[in-house]
Structures are given as C-alpha cells and as structure tokens.
Amino acid sequence: MDWLSKTALILVIVGALNWLLVGVFQWDLVTAIFGGDTFRNSSILSRLIYALVGLAGLYSISFLFRDTAVKTDKLADH
C-alpha cells in the first residue's frame, strides 16, 4: 500500500472512530481536540448509524496490515 492510500485509510479510520464515540457516548473527540462543544444530542437512529460507521472503522484497521500486492504482469500467468 502506498503512503497516500495508507494516509487516507488512517484518516477514514480516525473519522469512523470519532463517529463511534459520538454514537456510543455522544462525545466528539475531534471537537474536544480542536475546540467547540464536545457533546452532541442525537436521535437513537442517528447514534446507531454513527456506531455502525465506527465499527466499520475498527474493522478497517485490519486493512493496514494486509498484503495488497496484486499481480499486474499478465504474461507471468501464462
């Protein structure tokens, strides 16, 4: 995985984990770090969606450690 893909994946994971915190605890980590009101009032349905996005972010951490090498030389297959 190249550095740009890895950086983008890390940012997506951080964002998803932030949504997990919002969904489960109604607490926004990014706002806590950079300023603002850290507690959000959300409906149960939106909190469920936030939590699911966060769980997907946790799962995505495994992508950082997978071997993603793909054969691009079709001649090697023959």
Q: Is residue 23 part of a domain?
A: yes
Q: Is residue 54 part of a domain?
A: yes
Provide the pLDDT for residue 76: 58
* pLDDT surpasses 60 at 70: no
Give 78 or 29, the one with higher predicted confidence.
29
Q: Is residue 10 part of a domain?
A: no
Q: Is residue 68 part of a domain?
A: no
pLDDT band at 69 (very low <50, low <70, confident <90, very high): low
Listed residue (19, 49, 46, 48) closest to 31, CA to CA: 19
Tell me the whole-structure pTM to 2 decimals.
0.72
Which residue segment(s) compose the domain that 43 sits in? 16-62
Listed residue (50, 57, 59) closest to 19, CA to CA: 50
**How many structural domains is the chain composed of?**
1
Q: Is residue 9 part of a domain?
A: no
Can you tell me the distance from the alpha carbon of 38 to that of 27, in angstroms, rounded to the nearest whole number? 5
Q: Is residue 71 part of a domain?
A: no
Task: Tell me the pLDDT tens digit for each residue of 16-65.
Answer: 999 999 999 989 888 888 888 778 777 889 889 999 999 999 999 999 88
Q: Is residue 31 part of a domain?
A: yes
